[in-house]
Chain A
Amino acid sequence: AQTVTQSQPEMSVQEAETVTLSCTYDTSESDYYLFWYKQPPSRQMILVIRQEAYKQQNATENRFSVNFQKAAKSFSLKISDSQLGDAAMYFCAYLANTGNQFYFGTGTSLTVIP
């Protein structure tokens, strides 16, 4: 089975600063998707950003961007101009194009300091 590793259980960032959350994964597939989900205290899972492995260009959604290194199997999330509303648990997830089961990392809890 594929594994997804988030090595930072907790991170903190000053408001308006930039923070990077790390994610690595293990797979023998060549075609797959990677995702970052945000879970605020409300418990709702919210899709932040998605990356197709066949695309070399890193995905960007407003203040959120990724650094996708396919050879290194690394998929980090950068949050720029951090806001109080960014405080949440962040999950990295993997989906093979040949399967329909997501594999999730264990999550990183992000605190935003005013």
Chain B
Amino acid sequence: DAGITQSPRHKVTETGTPVTLRCHQTENHRYMYWYRQDPGHGLRLIHYSYGVKDTDKGEVSDGYSVSRSKTEDFLLTLESATSSQTSVYFCAISAGRAVGGYTFGSGTRLTVV
């Protein structure tokens, strides 16, 4: 969607390797989120950020870390990828609760072999 981009769009990596996914926004929104989407589970929150250097864990944060050094960038890192982390990863941004709704990136399909 306009104003938010994710990279890469697809990635295949080997078990045990580190992987970093990038989310970049041009909307200057305060909140940024990382979700993973798996069949039968919908979207589940991994981590979110409510400002530069301010992050918090979601319900499925084990094995993931995040960083936000600038308002526009939110990075998701898999320190040592496992096959259970094969998924589609979505970044989302929000201006705040009162506005409501997220704007989503186009997703990254990550395959860990």
What residues of chain A have their CB less than 8 Å away from a CB belonging to chain B? Answer: 1, 4, 6, 33, 35, 42-45, 47, 50, 52, 91, 95, 97, 99-102, 104-107
Contact = CB atoms under 8 A, between A and B. Distances in A.
Nearest to B106: A44
Contacts, number: 55
The dominant DSSP class at the B interface is strand
Contacts of A95: 97, 100
A77 B8 CA distance: 33
Contacts of B109: 43
B104 A45 contact: yes
Given A44-B106, A100-B50, A100-B96, A50 B42 contact: no
A104 B100 contact: no
A52 B42 CA distance: 22
Contacts of B33: 101-102
A47 B97 contact: no
A101 B58 contact: yes
B62 interface: no
The 4 A-B residue pairs whose C-beta atoms are closest, nearest first, are: A45-B104, A104-B42, A104-B43, A106-B42
Contacts of B104: 44-45
Contacts of B59: 1
B87 to A, nearest CB: 12
B71 interface: no
B31 A100 contact: yes
Contacts of B100: 33, 35, 50, 52, 95
Given A52-B100, A100-B50, 5 more contacts: A4-B42, A33-B101, A97-B97, A100-B48, A104-B43
